Amino acid sequence: MGMVIAAFIYVCLPWYVQSAVWLVNLFIPDPIPFLDEILMLVPIVCKVKAIIEVSEFLRKYGILLAVLLGSGIVGLIVYMIVRQGGAA
């Protein structure tokens, strides 16, 4: 049961902490060599892949997202000012 809890905690860690734990685990002797290292490498690879996909998306659509977000914030501010002025 403790190993299952440890596995869930490990999967929730950031990729750089997982990498550090993985490197430490490389030097710990195991009954089955390289099996746990391979299993520990899978979440790291998945997280790095997701980071690369998000960075490519932001590189492609970042300016558009910034303009839309900025327009929404300006619209919200104008709405709040108009509403505040109409209530007085």
pLDDT at 6: 86
The model's pLDDT over 10-67, given as tens digits with 9 standing for 90+, comes to 999 999 999 999 999 888 888 887 888 888 999 999 999 999 999 999 999 999 999 9
Tell how far CA 73 is from the center of its chain: 25
pLDDT at 43: 93
pLDDT band per the 50, 70, 90 thresholds, residue 86: low
The CA distance from 7 to 53, in Å, is 25
pLDDT at 1: 86
Q: Judge if pTM exceeds 0.85.
A: no
Tell how far CA 62 is from the center of its chain: 17
